[in-house]
Structure 1
């Protein structure tokens, strides 16, 4: 990726974890025959999901997203997806020309996807349903832990941006990335050269991105670089304090408190948790009155952050999840996509 000075000034971080990138990249892990750490425990957990709708959704997405190589750009809109529903809406608005071009790169398509390439509303609606169902069945049970790790990386990267600028951030994206002004070199399965040409670069941290960063295939789209974080082997493990916090405060209120770990407005917290702003506002009032968080006005909004007491209550050590059956059932073995 070739940068100008203008591009360096336009390097920015995604505003929030992008659920569509996590959906797409998790599919690439789901169908690999030998899933390595840190995803082995999650992949084993998914094999115990017995909801037929979730299984069907996984097969639908697996027919478009191979375990390695290209998958369609339109599944991960270039402007980012602050929420699952907004992201799916963007996918469903994809122009027919782009659908045909993206899907054409996959080669022979399954029968149901022929209508998708033609922009058929029913086929698009089925795709949106599959994305939502898969997310809710395979990722949502763990989304709070995923979100917390992505928010932690975003906070660290944001601090590096403030203290050392974009070049320091680009230099710290991992061993597969090398910053040699004015070029960012990334280990990648194919040879590419991207001229940012003043458009800047959006950096998106991802838990299911592993080893090598990922970019959109179409160089005419706004430049995006999805980079891996280091979640650790134990990211799937529930913490004892987390369970105790839920028992003390209730599920929603404890989720609100954890969601405020890295700060945010009422609307931002509501989007993270996919609950109404009114519900978040009610819980924020109780938590603030209990001395667990503080609120301050920033511009036209109000930003909430944890107090020392709130931070101490949220923090804790991890304990392992119960063992799960690691056998791979038939539904988790899709037909390999054409070369």
Structure 2
């Protein structure tokens, strides 16, 4: 059982991440490669294991199957390069403290980990190369699906917040979530208590993780709550040899347009993303609007489109 104690400042400071974090997703993929094969993720897990880059296998010395590796390894960044910059510039005291925690709880002490603690230049260059290789081989090919899953999750949870409030939304992030006063209680195999620090909480769903929720608590910044997204990666988009369920109902292009509109986009954005003409994108948007699956608003010369609750229901139900 995980108990998360909120202060009033933390409840007022709950926000959603602006997008999936590349290195966080990478760490979760590395953890999933070591976890027991699951019914939903099994095929994907076997593919990840078979394709795990040889140059990236050092990461398995750092990341256990629980994904509770050193926090300096998976900063919440918007891009790979700024994430790598944050990793490589992590304070030495932070690096040593996190490596000590990880080695005490889940990973054996190896010469390579000692090199990280001692700031050995060659070892840190190898870490950077491992992260780049793992991202290129394991995360980048699925990034568009990870991103679309994140956008759908964020839109869905935002709707839940508007309809049911913050407490119900937070309790609903994982099965069995409940409140005891200002403490959020979540069902987990291990007992743990976390007290937030008054700097708020960032919600970060992941389509590649099926384990228990994870907390990264920071003393001088918002803490981060990582949880499995409503729709896991293997169910995002069409699987090999199969058609997406919405294609038969809406048509392939129109279904793809609806999937894009979990975030607000212009007609030009839709045309660019789907590689169609602007007039064709406008026709698809009109059909979706007439079916009450999206709403449209004009700001100056720009026309913005986004999903309605009915559109979100259709997307999440089809997954």
Structure 1 length normalisation: TM-score? 0.70
- Give me the whole-angstrom Cα distance separating, in 2, the residues matched to 1:304 and 1:134: 36
What is the CA-CA distance between 1:203 and the residue it aligns to?
Answer: 0.9
- CA-based RMSD of the aligned residues comes to 3.9
Q: Secondary structure at the match of 2:150?
A: helix
- Give me the whole-angstrom Cα distance separating, in 2, the residues matched to 1:192 and 1:303: 48
After superposition, residues 152-301 of structure 1 pair within 5 angstroms as: 152-216=152-216, 222-231=222-231, 234-235=234-235, 237-238=239-240, 240=243, 260-264=260-264, 283=272, 287-290=277-280, 291=282, 292=284
Q: Does the 8 Å contact 1:99/1:119 carry over to 2?
A: no
Deviations 1:209-262 (A, max 9, x none): 3241001266666311111123359527245469x9xxx99xxxx99x688432
Shift in CA distance, 88/188, structure 1 to aligned 2, threshold 3 Å: farther
Shift in CA distance, 10/297, structure 1 to aligned 2, threshold 3 Å: farther
Q: Which residue of 1 aligns with 2:102?
A: 106
Q: Secondary structure at the match of 1:175?
A: coil
Shift in CA distance, 189/132, structure 1 to aligned 2, threshold 3 Å: farther
Q: Secondary structure at the match of 1:67?
A: coil
Counting matched residue pairs gives 287
- Give me the whole-angstrom Cα distance separating, in 1, the residues matched to 2:230 and 2:243: 22
What is the CA-CA distance between 1:134 and the residue it aligns to?
Answer: 0.8
- Give me the whole-angstrom Cα distance separating, in 2, the residues matched to 1:68 and 1:233: 18
- Give me the whole-angstrom Cα distance separating, in 2, the residues matched to 1:197 and 1:233: 32
Q: Which residue of 1 aligns with 2:79?
A: 83
Q: Which residue of 1 aligns with 2:38?
A: 36
What is the CA-CA distance between 1:125 and the residue it aligns to?
Answer: 3.1
Segment drifting more, 187-196 vs 64-73:
187-196
Unaligned runs of 5+ in 1: 267-279, 319-339
State whether structure 2 residue 4 is matched by structure 1 residue 8: no
Shift in CA distance, 92/232, structure 1 to aligned 2, threshold 3 Å: closer
Shift in CA distance, 303/74, structure 1 to aligned 2, threshold 3 Å: farther
Q: Does the 8 Å contact 1:7/1:199 carry over to 2?
A: yes
Structure 2 length normalisation: TM-score? 0.73
- Give me the whole-angstrom Cα distance separating, in 2, the residues matched to 1:219 and 1:185: 21
Shift in CA distance, 86/142, structure 1 to aligned 2, threshold 3 Å: same
Q: Does the 8 Å contact 2:262/2:307 carry over to 1?
A: no
Shift in CA distance, 265/303, structure 1 to aligned 2, threshold 3 Å: farther
Q: Which residue of 2 aligns with 1:336?
A: none
Q: Secondary structure at the match of 2:102?
A: coil
Deviations 1:136-172 (A, max 9, x none): 2122222222222222111101112233332121121
Q: Which residue of 1 aligns with 2:92?
A: 96
What is the CA-CA distance between 1:24 and the residue it aligns to?
Answer: 1.0
| 2:48 counterpart (43, 46, 49) | 46
- Give me the whole-angstrom Cα distance separating, in 1, the residues matched to 2:74 and 2:232: 25
Shift in CA distance, 258/87, structure 1 to aligned 2, threshold 3 Å: farther
- Give me the whole-angstrom Cα distance separating, in 1, the residues matched to 2:7 and 2:278: 46
Unaligned runs of 5+ in 2: 287-295
- Give me the whole-angstrom Cα distance separating, in 2, the residues matched to 1:307 and 1:8: 27
Shift in CA distance, 13/20, structure 1 to aligned 2, threshold 3 Å: same
- Give me the whole-angstrom Cα distance separating, in 1, the residues matched to 2:270 and 2:211: 39
Deviations 1:177-223 (A, max 9, x none): 32233111123454433332421111111123324100126666631
- Give me the whole-angstrom Cα distance separating, in 1, the residues matched to 2:303 and 2:117: 43
Q: Does the 8 Å contact 1:206/1:227 carry over to 2?
A: yes
Shift in CA distance, 197/68, structure 1 to aligned 2, threshold 3 Å: closer
Deviations 1:263-302 (A, max 9, x none): 2569xxxxxxxxxxxxx79936964343256997769x97
